[in-house]
Amino acid sequence: MKYIVNTSNETAYNIALEAYAFRELMEEEELFILWINRPSIIIGRHQNTIEEINKEFTDANDIRVVRRLSGGGAVYHDLNNLNYTIISNKSKEGAFDFKTFSAPVIETLADLGVKAEFTGRNDLEIDGKKFCGNAQAYYKGRMMHHGCLLFDVDMSVLSQALKVSKDKIESKGVKSVRSRVTNILEQLPEKITVNEFSDLLLQKMKDTHPEMTEYVLSDDELAKIKQLAEDKFATWDWTYGQAPEYTISRDVRYPAGKISTYANVDKSIIQSVKLYGDFFGIKDVVDVEEALVGVRYEYDDVLARLKTLDLAEYFAGMTVEEVAKAIVA
């Protein structure tokens, strides 16, 4: 395993860095990266950005909005939020083993006197309050796992910048998003800075992997990452895209995630469909969307078409029947 030192706080660059390491440094079997963003919202790969953020607030407060490569939900970052990325060629595709990859964080906190545990489908919690969400992406048999650690994040900004849908709050059985989260700093018996915590987490990785050495990016690689940030991750088209035209919209939440469907239906035939949500999957749902064009907007017809695809690669943890019911009642 190797680690990459990254001191940038620019959001699009940091997302581009992990994307470059994920897709271009294929000969490196395992990589570990720690990074901190300026105030930002990071959107999941399959989400409809405009529905996840309070755009008036993000614009007024100069909060960056950037889409990442992995699925899952939107998260708020600031300079007191620590992010970690683990890239590996050794993980079985589709395993979604969040618990294993979260172990270094749990062990580092244990060393500091805090008991944390893995819960739900992708959360880390302290005393029932979430402080970390995880997500994964796959590419040519390669896995990228990343976590977003709330260290001392400004919760008042978080709650204003993100739109948390009512069904998600209700599914957690609580009244508000703020009651569900906590900062690591609040739980530490002895207070430290986010940078000190970052150093401790890196040291934990070094202790766990004694063979780990630093991967130093060349000037040419750094230039390519900067270009990738400018050409893709910092662009409006990548983060927002075109809002879908639709005649029918549906929102359905399952334990494995939410699916929002926007379908353009004419004479009971699907002309186009867009599927958004905080679900996880190995493949891009554009394949599913294209497969449904021309299909009658009837449950049995949609179900039959979906059965021709390996839906587990697009919607992890959901049955084909559940996906069909999310698209049409």
What the block records as the tokens of 291 is 């497969």
Average pLDDT over residues 188-207: 95
Report d(CA 144, CA 199) in Å as an integer: 21
- Strand ranges across the sheet with 123-126: 117-119, 123-126, 129-139, 142-150, 81-88, 30-35, 2-4, 213-214
Is 37's pLDDT higher than 70?
Answer: yes
Mean pLDDT over the full length of the chain: 89
The predicted-structure confidence for 118-157, as pLDDT tens digits, reads as follows: 887 678 899 989 898 888 888 888 889 888 999 999 988 9
| pLDDT of 100 | 76
| pLDDT of 329 | 76
The predicted-structure confidence for 77-99, as pLDDT tens digits, reads as follows: 999 999 999 998 876 655 546 67
Contacts of 173 (CB under 8 A, 6+ apart): none
Contacts of 65 (CB under 8 A, 6+ apart): 40, 41, 43, 49, 53, 58, 239, 240
Report d(CA 184, CA 197) in Å as an integer: 10
| pLDDT of 172 | 46
Q: What ranges do the domains of the chain cover? A: 2-239, 248-327
Question: Is the model more confident about 241 or about 204?
Answer: 204
CATH of domain 2-239: 3.30.930.10
Where b means 16+ CB within 10 Å and e means fewer, 76-90 reads: bbbbbbbbbbbbbee
Is 173's pLDDT higher than 50?
Answer: no
Q: Kindly give the pairing relationship between strand 142-150 and strand 129-139.
A: antiparallel
Average pLDDT over residues 169-198: 75
Is 166's pLDDT higher than 60?
Answer: no
Query: How many CA within 13 A on the CB side of residue 255?
Result: 6
CATH 3.30.390.50 fits 248-327, yes or no: yes
Question: Is the model more confident about 284 or about 196?
Answer: 196
User: pTM of the prediction?
Assistant: 0.79
| pLDDT of 167 | 52
Is 293's pLDDT higher than 60?
Answer: yes
Identify the sign of the CA torsion 163, 168, 174, 177. negative
What the block records as the tokens of 116 is 């944390």
The predicted-structure confidence for 232-285, as pLDDT tens digits, reads as follows: 999 999 998 766 678 888 999 999 999 999 999 988 899 999 999 999 898 889
What the block records as the tokens of 256 is 């494995």
pLDDT band for position 170 (50/70/90)? very low
Average pLDDT over residues 30-59: 91
> What residue type is assigned to position 144 of the chain?
M
